[in-house]
Chains A and B, each alone.
Chain A
Amino acid sequence: MSNNSNWFRVLTYVFLSAFALFNIVPLFYMIVDSFKTEPEYAASPFSLPTKLHFENYAKAWDIANMDTYFMNSLIITFGSLIITVLLGSLTAFFLARFKFRFRKSTFAIFLLGMLVPIHATLIPIFLIMKNIGLLDTYWSLILPYTAFHLSLTIFILEGFMQGLPKDLEESGVMDGAGVYRIFWSIILPIARPAMATVIILNFIYNWNEYLFALVLISSEALKTLPLGLANFVGVETASMTLQMSALAIALVPIIIFYLLLQKQLVTGMTAGAVKG
């Protein structure tokens, strides 16, 4: 019996390690090779670089306009995130803490959004943005990102706020505070854990989005990181190491972000998938 379970343990570790390698190697190989010179890479992708060629990074940063892409991604990601979380938490507050006509149907309409495949909205959104002159502006992405992520945001926050004790608002009511005051200074601070999940989720979805950016943004100065990177790699086909440096520049921050906020990210994305 114990012999058997020892074997099982070994097999488990072998399998899990193989899986871990499968996950890490593509990323690791890319980062290692990004420090090589082009001939060094062509000779063998496996060898370690003889010298760390940081100049690849300087060059990639320069040629690929990485600073512009980072800036645009930050503006669009946070622009949409702030609006989504603000409007979403306010809506969730009313849905969770009040009784009113159409409460259920309003909530149901918002939930419906989690089932909507966003590509089905792409063509009309493109034409609407074009007609109102927002095409190829930050707003052309901020608005759709907000619209698409309100559902999950409201769903998660409503669930959390619903679970808070019923008499929470009472002290506020006694003090004669208005509804918004109660929301801002009583409910919102307590909802911090759920807010953190929602903020992280919105961040990662907005930061990674590609299809809408591809269709709605055309000027070089407004491209987001995924769009700019895809473009850069498509153009800079001659130098693999340069491509890898550009990718690594974009990859490292997101990996650090993930390692720091792993718990919330995992819970949030799992909830998003299971409920969505």
Chain B
Amino acid sequence: MNTLKGTRAAIFFGMLPALLIYIGIAIIPIFVSLYYSFFNWDGISAKSAVGFDNYVRIFNDSVFWLSVKNNIIIMVTGLIGQIPLGLLLALLLNRNLRGSTFFRTVGFMPVVISSVMVSLIWGMIYNSEYGFMNALLGFFGLDSWQRNWLGDTSISMYSVSLAYIWQNCGLYMVIFLAALQNIPGEVNEAAELDGATGLRRVFRITIPMIRSTILVAVVYSISNSFRVFDLVQILTGGGPAHMTEVMTIYMYNHAFVSRQFGYGSAASMLILLFSLIVVSLVNRLGREKDS
């Protein structure tokens, strides 16, 4: 097809608009963000270069470290709640049960709902006066378990996590299910001939077969946990007293509430950096085990 007259120009002009929009809006801003992070700037008056000052100030801010801790809570609880649960559900649904389509449909439903809706729904569930959670506990006579789920700082982060897991678990279930269905039938037959059945087969054969998918899911779950914003912003706004603030909220507050665009940019660069570090660590660990 290279020989067609004017093909080269057609290719160039055909891809140009997509490239322009994509590079201009999705790629260049990252470098711009990096550039801004070395300035003190409210977006209106002149920028003043401050070198690494923004980063130093962030590292000395205890609220930032609180937000890092909360991100770690979301990451860890997210991993625990999504990967093993998703895998278990997928293993169960892979057995050609009656009604498995129903369970899969229902399981994936929260994934398509916007995180805004998920937060609003869970906000009502957690409502301390009229919420479903406390009413349910009261209904079973467990009044002593009733809590101010989002206001009590010792548990509020875990309440956020539960909503987060609720929203995403189905995605991992479906990812694992797709991987399980790709395991060739002969593998299972051979395993059966060798007498590997039940749990043994699951741990010795099935799980190793989908190892790479599990690794991808773990990486995805981690990088997702660094992006959490909507859920926290709507459920708690990061409060009470910054106790549920995550790094994206920290960035948002500094950039768009107190108009410190340089400082906010530095925070956004740190989120990027942290998530890259954790993801590459996990990737390396996963690969090492391979060899």
Name the residue on A nearest B105 (C-beta).
A262
Name the residue on A nearest B89 (C-beta).
A19
Interface residues of A in 1-55 (CB under 8 A from B): 12-13, 15-16, 19-20, 22-24, 26-27, 29-30, 41-42, 44-46
Among the 9-residue stretches B51-59, B123-131, B148-156, B187-195, the one with 4 or more Cβ atoms under 8 Å from chain A is: B123-131
A-B residue pair count with CB separations less than 8 angstroms: 260
Q: Which of B11, B32, B227 has most A Cβ within 10 Å?
A: B11
A226 touches B19 (CB 8 A): no
CA of A29 to CA of B7, assembled, Å = 59
CA of A69 to CA of B169, assembled, Å = 29
Interface size on B, residues (CB 8 A): 94
CA of A42 to CA of B115, assembled, Å = 26
Q: Which residues of B contact A95 (CB under 8 A)?
A: 15
Q: Does B112 lie at the interface of the complex (its beta carbon under 8 Å from any beta carbon of A)? A: yes
CA of A83 to CA of B104, assembled, Å = 32
Interface residues of A in 259-276 (CB under 8 A from B): 259, 262, 265-266, 269-270, 273-274, 276
Name the residue on A nearest B116 (C-beta).
A226
Q: Does B278 lie at the interface of the complex (its beta carbon under 8 Å from any beta carbon of A)? A: no
Assuming A211-B230, A273-B175, is B275 touching A117 (CB within 8 A)? yes
Pick the residue among B17, B114, B178 that contacts A87 (CB under 8 A).
B17
Pick the residue among B106, B171, B265, B275 that contacts A24 (CB under 8 A).
B106
Q: How far is the CB of A138 from chain B (nearest CB, A)?
A: 15
Assuming A120-B269, A210-B230, A259-B105, is B171 touching A100 (CB within 8 A)? no
Contact with A along B211-239 (1 / 0, CB 8 A): 00100110010010011011001100000
Pick the residue among A26, A257, A258 that contacts B122 (CB under 8 A).
A26
Q: Which residues of B contact A71 (CB under 8 A)?
A: none
Name the residue on A nearest B103 (C-beta).
A16
Name the residue on A nearest B131 (C-beta).
A45
A147 touches B227 (CB 8 A): no
Q: How far is the CB of B98 from chain A (nearest CB, A)?
A: 9
B175 touches A270 (CB 8 A): yes
Q: Which residues of B contact A22 (CB under 8 A)?
A: 166
Pick the residue among B11, B43, B103, B251 that contacts A119 (CB under 8 A).
B251
Among the 9-residue stretches A58-66, A106-114, A190-198, the one with 4 or more Cβ atoms under 8 Å from chain B is: A106-114
Q: How far is the CB of A126 from chain B (nearest CB, A)?
A: 8
Assuming A16-B103, A26-B166, A106-B15, is B26 touching A229 (CB within 8 A)? no
Name the residue on A nearest B234 (C-beta).
A230
A-B contact pairs, 11 of them (CB 8 A): A12-B95, A30-B121, A90-B15, A91-B15, A121-B29, A150-B21, A169-B1, A178-B4, A210-B230, A251-B113, A255-B109
Which B residues fall within an 8 A CB radius of A?
1-2, 4, 6-8, 10-11, 14-15, 17-19, 21-30, 32-33, 36, 43, 88-89, 92-93, 95, 97, 99, 102-117, 119-125, 127, 130-132, 135-136, 139, 166, 170-171, 174-175, 178, 213, 216-217, 220, 223, 226-227, 229-230, 233-234, 248, 251-252, 255-256, 261, 264-265, 268-269, 271-272, 275
Closest 5 CB pairs of A and B: A208-B114, A147-B25, A124-B29, A121-B29, A226-B116
Which A residues fall within an 8 A CB radius of B?
12-13, 15-16, 19-20, 22-24, 26-27, 29-30, 41-42, 44-46, 83, 87-88, 90-91, 93-95, 97-100, 106, 109-110, 112-113, 116-128, 130, 143-144, 146-148, 150-151, 154, 169, 173, 178-180, 204, 207-211, 214-215, 225-227, 229-230, 233, 240, 243-244, 247, 250-251, 254-255, 257-259, 262, 265-266, 269-270, 273-274, 276
